[in-house]
Amino acid sequence: MGNGFEIRDLDAAVGAEVLGVDLAAPLDDATFAAIERAWDARGMLLFRGQRLTPAAHVAFSRRFGAVEVPTNRQYALDGMPEVYVVSNIVEGGRNIGNADAGRVWHTDSSYMAVPSRGSLLYAVEVPRDGQGQPLGDTLFASMTAAYDELPDAMKRRCEGLHAVHDYSVQYERRLAKVRAAGGQRAALDAGTRERVAPIVHPVIRRHPRSGRPCIYVNLAMVTEVVGMDEADGLALRDELVAFATQDRFVYRHRWNEGDLVMWDNTSTQHLAIADYALPQRRLMYRTTVAGTA
């Protein structure tokens, strides 16, 4: 293992910081295994001070499984479809990345039959205020800790329930918002719409690796709960998310250039804080590791 390799839990219900690792260099199996164990146990890992090319970012991601090509291909990095650009930067009149990613609590690709295992987000440019303080924080909430503390009556209410996750519905909603605000965004093409038919997942989903129960409804993709009328289903969804995203389950990450943060898409949810605007530039690269059935 590398000199000074250490994993330290963050002072929160979720997350750990990994020190003494250069993710651009080859990682030996023992170091990798320790990282993977910590990821499973803590849901989110932080590596500071990295210098990652997109190729190195993808290569590290691949150690955890196949890397997805994101559904929304309009924001792929040129020549690297596995790298999804999250950015407010406009070049030649066009957004180079998704400018409004993650503005409600969510997990990535919950709308897929086999949701992704996790995502790895790397900070290239971080917006700052007049004092040089970082803006555009990201919040992470532990869905395992939140489930453990759910009142028993609520646990019983959720038993056996399933929710519908619908990418198209959320996409149309966001498209309308972006366009109302004068932004530009392509409509969902028919091919994509077909690939993302609505999907059903348990409201309380067992983590595919640890087996721990996780609250698995989110505000971005869940449009109804099976067997409930729409309003009741959404009320249940909202109540669960409000419970699970209380401060005691949350870690707030203040970004610096060179941070790589990886999160588990079953045991955590995340939320982007939109407290910056051009000329404050934000540029992030994301990879998404596929899940297993």
Interacting residue ranges for Mn ion, rule: CB under 5 A: 102, 108
At closest approach, how far in Å is the CB of 226 from ligand OGA? 26
How many Cβ atoms sit within 10 Å of the Cβ of residue 4?
A: 8
Residue 288: its H or E element:
strand 283-289
At closest approach, how far in Å is the CB of 138 from Mn ion? 9
Residue 272: strand, helix, or coil: strand
**In residues, how long is the chain?**
293
DSSP β-ladder status, 204-206 and 80-87: unpaired
Contact 48, 10 (CB under 8 A): no
138 binds, among ligand OGA, Mn ion, none (CB under 5 to 8 A by kind): ligand OGA
At closest approach, how far in Å is the CB of 287 from ligand OGA? 10
Give the residue at shortest CB distance from Mn ion: 102
Residue 280: strand, helix, or coil: coil
Contact between 259 and ligand OGA by CB under 6 A: the answer reads no
At closest approach, how far in Å is the CB of 185 from ligand OGA? 16
Q: Which is nearer to ligand OGA, 61 or 119 (CB)?
A: 119
Q: Using CB under 6 A, pick the residue from 102, 115, 118, 134 that binds ligand OGA.
A: 102
Q: Which is nearer to Mn ion, 7 or 253 (CB)?
A: 253
Backbone phi, then psi, for 232, in 5-degree steps? -65, -40
d(Cα 241, Cα 146) in Å, to the nearest integer? 9
d(Cα 202, Cα 216) in Å, to the nearest integer? 7
How many Cβ atoms sit within 10 Å of the Cβ of residue 133?
A: 9
DSSP one-letter code for 249: G
241 binds, among ligand OGA, Mn ion, none (CB under 5 to 8 A by kind): none
Q: Which is nearer to Mn ion, 102 or 213 (CB)?
A: 102
User: Taking CB under 6 A as the rule, which mask of x and - marks residues 32-71 in contact with ligand OGA?
Assistant: ----------------------------------------
Angle, CA 258 vertex, CA 292 and CA 92 arms, to 5°: 90
Contact between 86 and ligand OGA by CB under 6 A: the answer reads yes
R_g (Cα) of the chain, nearest Å: 19
Q: Which is nearer to Mn ion, 108 or 224 (CB)?
A: 108
Contact between 250 and ligand OGA by CB under 6 A: the answer reads no
Which of these segments, 101-109, 110-118, 157-165, 236-244, binds ligand OGA (CB under 6 A)? 101-109
Contact between 121 and ligand OGA by CB under 6 A: the answer reads yes
At closest approach, how far in Å is the CB of 48 from ligand OGA? 16
At closest approach, how far in Å is the CB of 101 from Mn ion? 6
d(Cα 84, Cα 105) in Å, to the nearest integer? 19
Location of structure tokens 């079953």: 266
User: Taking CB under 6 A as the rule, which mask of x and - marks residues 126-165 in contact with ligand OGA?
Assistant: ------------x---------------------------
| Residue type, position 14, single letter | V
Alpha-carbon distances, residue 146 vs 116, 151, 244, 253 (angstroms): 21, 10, 5, 19
For ligand OGA, the binding residues (CB under 6 A) are 86, 101-102, 108, 119, 121, 138, 270, 272, 284, 286
